[in-house]
Amino acid sequence: MFIKSPLNYTGNKYRILPQITKYFPKHTKVFVDMFCGGATVGFNVDADKVILIDNNPRVINLLKFLAEKDIHVIISKIEKVIKEYNLSYSYKYTYKKYRDEGYVVGNNGLKKYNEKGFYKLREDYNKLLNKNTDKANIMLYTLMVYAFNNDIRFNSMGDFNLPVGKTDFNKNNYNKLIAYNNRAKETKYEFICSDFRSKKVSNIINKASFVYCDPPYLITTAVYNENDGWNCDKEEHLLKLLSKIAKRNIPFALSNVLKTKLKTNIQLESWINENNYDVHKINYHYKSSSYNKKNRDREEQEIIVTGGAADEASDK
Ligand SMILES: C[S@@+](CC[C@H](N)C(=O)[O-])C[C@H]1O[C@@H](n2cnc3c(N)ncnc32)[C@H](O)[C@@H]1O
């Protein structure tokens, strides 16, 4: 059964997992999720070992922390932060309680109740000198849960910069956390914070049984593209790296967007044609929100490219 990541990561693959995992082997020895983001893909594959790589240290540290710490300790620490910053806790006290008390105004959810505490928590988190302590990870998780769209986002200075959101530590967030922590006990997970061009990553993928890549897309924009964003050089480097492992018969799958209404990723298109890799179209049904409507209007065609014996791998 597929689980949702406790991180509501922009561009996460949850909705299309059934479509992309069918190009993966049924079971892998060492599966590498090279641009893991919220770990949605890596945490939903059947493997002896999954190596999750991303160059965002905050995200990797948080994923590792939420996977490896005792769940009771995590929850009691979150509860302590909720209390200290006077935040709502609808999983424990019910949403109705806050509504009856007049804190839910219009369609702003719990925003009014949490505004003051959230901004104080954000200020205190951004002031921390060491962002890789248990305390920092708990503060970051809590910030995310109370932030706009439950999202996680930093400015170029590394400060968490989202405004307060409408929701809180509710049943949904609670259940995602438990499912993720439980899943972490079923498989061996390794979390690596590194740029994909490093020697370390090169060594890892050379020993992998399957490599999945979901990099930022060259012809679309996303938050992780903002600071020191994705560019043609990085794209070139990645494509060369994948051809190299494919030649060594290590299968790979690459998620991407080949065309939008206005642009074509020519680099990607010629690489696919030159190497005769297989392209599979992903059917992404965007629903009604304005963000999604924007995407629909752009007519992006999401694809998954497979190579290096990946097709045979999916039949195993
Ligand atoms: C499209 S997102 C991945 C989303 C992920 N598949 C999920 O389901 O949540 C791309 C990720 O690539 C990471 N990234 C960007 N540049 C990178 C680089 N040079 N090396 C490693 N990771 C990078 C970003 O931090 C981001 O998390």
Q: Which atom of ligand 1 is nearest to the CA of 56?
A: 25
- Which residue minimizes the CA distance to atom 7 of ligand 1? 12
**What CATH number corresponds to the domain at position 44?**
3.40.50.150
Quick one: 91 and 154 in the same domain? yes
Give the pLDDT band of residue 10 (cuts 50, 70, 90).
confident
Between 127 and 287, where is the model more confident?
127
**Pairwise CA distance, residues 177 & 5, whole Å:** 8
Query: What is the H or E stretch that residue 191 is in?
Result: strand 188-193
Q: Which residues contact 250 (CB under 8 A, 6 or more apart)?
A: 205, 206, 208, 209, 210, 211, 308, 309
Does 225 sit in the ligand 1 pocket, CB within 6 Å? Answer: no
pLDDT exceeds cutoff 50 at 315 = no
Q: Is residue 239 within 8 Å of residue 275, measured between CB atoms?
A: no
**Which tokens belong to 155?**
């400015």
Whether residue 182 lies inside any domain: the answer is no
Calculate mean pLDDT across residues 126-137.
96
Q: For ligand 1, is residue 217 a contact (CB within 6 Å)?
A: no
C-beta separation of 196 from 51 below 8 A: no
Query: From edge to edge, which strands make up the β-sheet containing 28-33?
Result: 188-193, 47-54, 28-33, 210-213, 252-259, 301-307, 278-281
Q: Which residues of 29-51 are buried (b: 16+ CB within 10 A; e: fewer)?
A: ebbbbbbbbbbbbbbbbebeebb
- For 219-274, write each residue's pLDDT tens digit: 886 655 555 689 999 999 999 999 999 999 999 999 999 998 888 999 999 999 99
Whole-number pLDDT of residue 316: 41
pLDDT over 90 at 128, yes or no: yes
* 239 and 311 housed in the same domain: yes
> By residue range, what is the domain housing residue 213?
14-55+194-315
- Residue identified by tokens 């690489």 is 271
For residue 252, the surrounding DSSP H or E stretch is strand 252-259
Taking the centre of ligand 1 as the mean of its atom positions, its distance from the CA of residue 54, in whole angstroms, is 6
- Is the separation of the CB atoms in 132 and 138 below 8 Å? no
Pair (128, 32) in one structural domain:
no
Six-digit token string for 46: 């059947």
| pLDDT tens profile 143-153 | 999 999 999 99
Asked if residue 184 belongs to a domain, the reply is: no
Mean pLDDT, the chain, as a whole number?
Answer: 91
Cβ(71)–Cβ(178) under 8 Å?
yes
Q: What pLDDT score does 4 carry?
A: 97
pLDDT score of 56: 93
How far is the centre of ligand 1, averaged over its atoms, from the C-alpha of 171 (Å)? 28
Pocket test for ligand 1, best of 55, 60, 228 (most atoms within 8 A of CB): 55
Do the domain assignments include residue 7? no
pLDDT at 80: 98
Each residue's pLDDT tens digit, 173-227:
999 999 999 999 999 999 999 999 999 999 999 999 999 999 999 988 665 555 5
Residue 9 lies in a domain: no
**Residue where one domain finishes, among candidates 175, 207, 241:** 175
Measure 38 CA to ligand 1 centroid, in angstroms.
9
Q: Count up the domains in the chain and report the number.
A: 2
In this predicted structure, the answer to whether residue 99 has a pLDDT above a threshold of 80 is yes
Pair 109, 166: CB distance under 8 Å: yes
Q: 226 and 308 in one domain?
A: yes
- pLDDT single digits (tens) 58-72: 999 999 999 999 999
Residue 217 domain flag: yes
pLDDT at 114 over 80: yes
How far is the centre of ligand 1, averaged over its atoms, from the C-alpha of 203 (Å)? 19
118 and 167 Cβ atoms separated by less than 8 Å: no
Summarize the confidence of residues 282-286 as an average pLDDT.
70
Domain boundary among 175, 205, 234: 175
CATH of the domain at 154: 1.10.1020
Our CA angle for 91, 287, 5, nearest 5°, is 45
Q: How far is the CA of 83 from the centre of ligand 1 (A)?
A: 33
Q: What is the pLDDT of residue 309?
A: 76
Share of the chain above pLDDT 70, in %: 90
Q: How far apart are alpha carbons 207 and 203 in whole angstroms?
A: 7
**Residue 277 clears pLDDT 60, i.e. is over it:** yes
Residue 57 is predicted with a pLDDT of 94
Residue 156, pLDDT score: 84
User: What's residue 286's pLDDT?
Assistant: 46
Residue ID of nearest Cα to ligand 1 atom 20: 195
- Give a yes or no: residue 215 inside a domain: yes
Q: Taking the CA atoms of the chain, what radius of gyration do you get in angstroms?
A: 20
Measured distance CA(33)–CA(57) in Å, rounded = 16
Q: Assess if residue 183 is contained within a domain.
A: no
Same-domain check for residues 76 and 171? yes
Give the pLDDT band (50/70/90) at residue 22.
Answer: very high
- Whether residues 165 and 90 share a domain: the answer is yes
Whether 230 and 296 map to the same domain: the answer is yes
Do 169 and 207 reside in the same domain of the chain?
no
Q: What is the pLDDT of residue 220?
A: 83
Domain-terminating residue out of 175, 204, 235: 175
**Under 8 Å between Cβ of 251 and 308:** yes
84 and 35 in a common domain: no
Is residue 206 located within the same domain as residue 261?
yes
Q: Are 213 and 253 in contact (CB under 8 A)?
A: yes
In this predicted structure, what is the pLDDT of residue 290?
43
* Residue 312 clears pLDDT 60, i.e. is over it: no
- The answer to whether residue 292 is domain-embedded is yes
The secondary structure of residue 24, as a DSSP letter, is: S
Element spanning 72, H or E: helix 71-84
Q: Are residues 250 and 310 in the same domain?
A: yes
pLDDT of the residue at 48: 97
Phi-psi region of 262 (alpha: psi -120 to 50; beta: other; left: phi over 0): alpha
Please determine, for residue 292, whether its predicted confidence score (pLDDT) is greater than 60: no
Q: Are residues 45 and 85 in the same domain?
A: no
